[in-house]
């Protein structure tokens, strides 16, 4: 089987709950970041950019952009997904799932990986800088209990 990608990870989260594109982006970002921080390697090779509203994977954004602020329907074929991806998505969801998209945006804006990628840009300025995986790994590892 091929290595899971951002779409597999997104489907794992959508198998738990229907959610907006913005929330889905942040959930996938946190899954990638925490998987790196835990020393388990890269759960997906796909990258996230430091957009105005927080970390975004452009391909995932484009897939669901037509939903706007509305919820993307729940993914009903959970059995088709890699078991380890679903299990990790469930753990991340336990930690972040209670937050809405705006809360997750604010949280990501307060953290070094996104801030470092944006540099000195104003909050409203567009940015396509990729958030560094080493920055993600180091920061989230540093806040582990």
pLDDT average, residue stretch 62-66: 98
For residue 45, give the nearest of 82, 86, 19, 8 by alpha carbon: 8
CB atoms within 10 A of CB 145: 2
Give 113-145 pLDDT, tens digit per residue: 999 999 999 999 999 999 999 999 999 999 986
pLDDT at 145: 65
pLDDT in the model for residue 1: 56
Q: Where are the alpha helices (DSSP H) in 38-82?
A: 58-64
- Is the pLDDT at 104 greater than 80? The verdict is yes
| Structure letter (DSSP) for residue 73 | P
User: Tokens 């078991």 appear where?
Assistant: 83
**What is the tens place of the pLDDT at every residue in 15-51?**
999 999 999 999 999 999 999 999 888 999 999 999 9
The domain segmentation of the chain, as residue ranges, is 6-70+83-142
pTM of the predicted protein model: 0.96
Helix pair angle (21-37, 133-142), 10° resolution: 70
């Amino acid at each position: 089987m091929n290595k899971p990608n951002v779409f597999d990870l997104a489907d794992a989260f959508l198998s738990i709950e229907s959610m907006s594109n913005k929330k889905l982006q942040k959930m996938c970002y946190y899954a990638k970041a925490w998987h790196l921080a835990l020393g388990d390697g890269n759960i997906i090779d796909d990258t996230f950019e430091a957009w105005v509203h927080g970390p975004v994977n452009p391909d995932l954004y484009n897939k669901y952009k037509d939903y706007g602020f509305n919820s993307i329907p729940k993914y009903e074929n959970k059995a088709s997904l890699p078991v380890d991806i679903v299990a990790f998505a469930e753990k991340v969801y336990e930690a972040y799932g209670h937050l809405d998209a705006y809360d997750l945006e604010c949280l990501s804006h307060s953290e070094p990986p996104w801030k470092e990628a944006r540099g000195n840009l104003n909050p409203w300025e567009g940015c396509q800088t990729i958030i560094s995986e080493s920055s993600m790994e180091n920061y989230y590892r540093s806040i582990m209990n």
